[in-house]
Amino acid sequence: MNLSDKYSEALAFAFDLHRGQQRQGSGVPYVAHLLGVSSLVLEYGGDENQAIAGLLHDAVEDQGGSETLAAVRERFGEDVAAIVAACSDSIDPPRPPWRRRKELYLDHLGKSPGRIQLVAACDKLYNARAILSDLRQVGDRLWDRFSGGKQGVLWYYGALAATFTIESPVVGELGRVVQDIVSNTGLPIE
């Protein structure tokens, strides 16, 4: 598959939205995460719209809510906007408390079409790999970065690994990485 100018436009749009952001506690430019998710989407068989959604999956949640979603819809179409909206655990403030927000997201995700699940699974795989890498480097200090703390993150990623219904190698890889995280903590998943 060849990517079109629409992909490069989405890349520029994502860069503009997230240029000042860094990954929690790591100092890594946030755009690295967006590129990584989009890359995984393509590697696991996604199409251009899904890859664009991979670039923009956090735009609505982190950079403007409904207004940004409308801009995504206008610039990249309904398919991309629907995937981006579905990958967001909240769109406009006020956000529900962390645990409730994650429970609602998991329920929604398990009922979502495969196109959405692929993008979400790639996002979660990228995040799980980052968690595992950082856990190995900084140990338990890692958990201070997360609203849910150690137990919450372990619960959430364990639940995510069990929620995806698509038949894709990304789901198996996510499960393996989550097990590696658990092995490195010495705690069971709730």
Task: Map out the domains of the chain as residue ranges.
Answer: 5-185
3-state helix, strand, coil in the chain (%, to 5): 75, 0, 25
pLDDT band for position 78 (cuts 50, 70, 90): very high
The tens digit of pLDDT for each residue in 94-141 reads 888 999 999 999 999 999 999 999 999 999 999 999 999 999 988 989
* Number of other residues whose CB lies within 10 A of the CB of residue 54: 32
Q: Is the N-terminal amide bond of 94 cis, ω within 30° of 0?
A: yes
Nearest to 51 by CA among 37, 68, 30, 63: 37
The confidence score (pLDDT) of residue 22 equals 87
Average pLDDT, the chain: 93
Distance, in Å, from the CA atom of 56 to the CA atom of 183, rounded to the nearest integer, reads 32
Q: Are 101 and 28 in contact (CB under 8 A)?
A: no
pTM of the complete model = 0.94
Burial string for 153-185 (b: 16+ CB within 10 Å, else e) reads: bbbbbbbbbebbebebebbebbbebbebbbeeb
The tens digit of pLDDT for each residue in 126-179 reads 999 999 999 998 898 999 999 899 999 999 999 999 999 999 999 999 999 999
Report the amino acid identity of residue 184: N
Distance, in Å, from the CA atom of 180 to the CA atom of 138, rounded to the nearest integer, reads 16
* 5-185 classified as CATH 1.10.3210.10: yes
